[in-house]
A and B are shown apart, each in its own frame.
Chain A
Amino acid sequence: MGLNTSKLPNGPEMYVGEGYGLTQIEKVIGLARANSIWPLPFATSCCGIEFMATMASTYDLGRFGAERLSFSPRQADLLMVMGTIAKKMGPVLKQVYTQMAEPKWVIAVGACASSGGIFDTYSVLQGIDKVIPVDVYVPGCPPPPEAILDGILKIQELIKNEPLRRRESAEYNDLLHSYQID
């Protein structure tokens, strides 16, 4: 009687026998987290309109386990920043990020959230990574729903492969510290 290795679609590698599978707890938790993201849409302009299409029936973000939007940062896993962030909005965005519980991820959707975009001007934040750390950037002005979905899939890959202790690591704390977030 030998152990067979098997792989679930998009899942971790595991040893399977009669009625059980054997893998690392880290992989199982990653799998569960990645497929049950609660996104918090922080939509300020046209990228937010594309996000509405992403949530609606044709593209249906629900297929990836993320149909339950959280409009409270305290329950959200993924902050989706979609649109131009004026400098006056910067502290608000940072406060929303700070209120989210760990583990949390951030996706910058579109040119404005990523770099300020066409708003090369004194009043616009030149990318949200000036105030909060960002995991995935989605290019486009605005990006189509396909691109936003691709960004979500990239986030899922990050979540699946994240070590359980990453949020306690010195590197992660240094990263937060560099943004004056404690």
Chain B
Amino acid sequence: MAEVNHQILGEAIAEQFGRQVLSLEESYGTLDVVVDKSIIIPLIHWLKNHQTFKVNFLTSLCGVHFPEQKGRELSVVYHLHSLMNNIRFRIHVFLPASHPEIPTLTTLFAGANWMERETFEFYGIKFIGHPDLRIILNVEDMDYHPLLKQYPLVDATRTDKDDKYFGR
């Protein structure tokens, strides 16, 4: 069996999904694939069941907020790992802040459950089809998505702290 590297993997993804693969590049030693939202589940399904690639492990799933990118403010990042081929890569999907919805990955990886809840909690990204999309880490009555950059990081109840000691 030929060794799978980033180039082989990237070319196979591009060949299979064509124009819906928006960009392919290698950064910090890892393959970065940016794809359209519509193929995210078919793509990961294909990778998981692929005879050679066997991408069987979802390392992480998280969100990112880029407020300056109009129309693609939010990103969902999937870190995937093929244990058989010992190869890791990332898949990015960009979403508009006005419509932050993406299909759930829990249909393929049960481990996505809590990670999607966390991503929903911090960025307000709705995972369509998730079995139980409640917030998971913060206090239950949290009424905003705290890692969206329009919200201040510091707590409003701080009373005895000096900004200069916190680099602000």
* Chain A residues within CB distance 8 Å of chain B: 87-88, 90, 115-116, 118, 120-124, 126-127, 130
Contact = CB atoms under 8 A, between A and B. Distances in A.
Given A87-B139, A88-B137, A127-B159, 19 more contacts: A87-B138, A88-B139, A115-B161, A116-B155, A116-B158, A116-B161, A120-B154, A120-B158, A120-B161, A120-B166, A121-B154, A122-B153, A122-B154, A122-B155, A123-B146, A126-B157, A126-B161, A127-B160, A130-B157
Contacts of B166: 118, 120
A88 B137 CA distance: 8
Contacts of A126: 155, 157-159, 161
A177 B159 CA distance: 21
Contacts of B161: 115-116, 120, 126
A120 to B, nearest CB: 5
A127 B155 CA distance: 12
> Which of the listed residues A122, A124, A130 has the most CB atoms from chain B within 10 Å of its own CB?
A122
A127 B159 CA distance: 9
B139 A121 contact: no
A116 B154 CA distance: 11
Interface residues of B, number: 15
A120 B155 contact: yes
3 cross-chain pairs, A with B, having the tightest CB-CB distances, nearest first: A126-B158, A88-B139, A122-B155
Contacts, number: 39
A122 B139 CA distance: 11
A88 B138 CA distance: 6
> Which of the listed residues B139, B146, B155, B160 has the most CB atoms from chain A within 10 Å of its own CB?
B155
Contacts of A127: 159-160
Contacts of A118: 166
A87 B157 CA distance: 11
